[in-house]
């Protein structure tokens, strides 16, 4: 039973994580500032650049999607709000606690309110996209 849940969570989480990361990256593109556009990218030649921060975001999105699916199989209360509750929890833990402690960014009350609202909505959409993939593939074990 546990092996089946984990196996299904791996491949559904992989798909959900990729889709959710693309949704969030697309959302961020609407609200980028000049400071955000100055990312470090590695040129591999021929005008092709690799942005490692986006790659790490996609990988972490896949891992968190797998965590969401396994969590939802054992405690369906995390699916309240159609996955947006999970997105809000991730925003608080990752963006407001972890990244602030590492001094990568400031607390949200030190940022312009427009940037904070755009980040929160981005995380809510991210969590919702994971939820939609999970319920769209019934083998994940996540239901309404």
Residue 22 within any structural domain of the chain:
yes
Stretch 129-144: mean pLDDT = 85
Phi/psi at 118 (5° precision):
-65, -40
pLDDT score, position 48: 64
Stretch 27-39: mean pLDDT = 68
Q: 12-21, 29-38, 117-126 — which is least confidently predicted?
A: 29-38
pLDDT score, position 112: 84
pLDDT tens-digit map of 36-93: 555 555 556 666 666 677 788 899 999 999 999 999 888 888 888 888 999 999 999 9
pLDDT score, position 59: 94
Residue 85 within any structural domain of the chain:
yes
**Helices then strands (H, E): number in the chain?**
6, 2
Residue 76 within any structural domain of the chain:
yes
Residues near 84 by beta carbon (within 8 Å), at least 6 away in sequence: 124, 127, 128, 131
The answer on pLDDT for 142 being more than 80 is no
Maximal C-alpha separation, the chain: 50
Residue 143 within any structural domain of the chain:
no
Stretch 26-40: mean pLDDT = 68
Alpha helices in 31-139 (DSSP H): 34-37, 52-74, 84-90, 99-101, 113-136
The answer on pLDDT for 129 being more than 90 is yes
Q: Domain total for the chain?
A: 1
Nearest to 132 by CA among 74, 46, 92, 72: 72
Residue 144 within any structural domain of the chain:
no
pLDDT score, position 109: 84
Containing domain of residue 86, as a range?
Answer: 2-138
How many CB atoms neighbour CB 27 within 10 A?
Answer: 17
Write out the two tokens for 76. 């369906």
């Amino acid at each position: 039973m546990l092996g089946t849940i984990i196996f299904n969570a791996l491949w559904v989480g992989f798909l959900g994580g990729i889709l959710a990361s693309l949704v969030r990256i697309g959302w961020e593109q609407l609200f980028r500032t000049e400071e955000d556009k100055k990312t470090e990218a590695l040129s591999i030649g021929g005008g092709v650049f690799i942005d490692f921060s986006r790659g790490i975001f996609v990988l972490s999105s896949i891992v968190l999607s797998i965590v969401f699916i396994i969590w939802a199989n054992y405690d369906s209360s995390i699916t309240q709000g159609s996955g947006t509750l999970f997105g809000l929890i991730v925003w608080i833990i990752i963006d407001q606690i972890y990244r602030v402690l590492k001094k990568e960014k400031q607390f949200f009350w030190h940022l312009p309110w427009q940037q904070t609202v755009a980040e929160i909505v981005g995380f809510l959409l991210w969590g919702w996209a994971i939820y939609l993939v999970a319920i769209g593939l019934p083998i994940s074990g996540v239901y309404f």
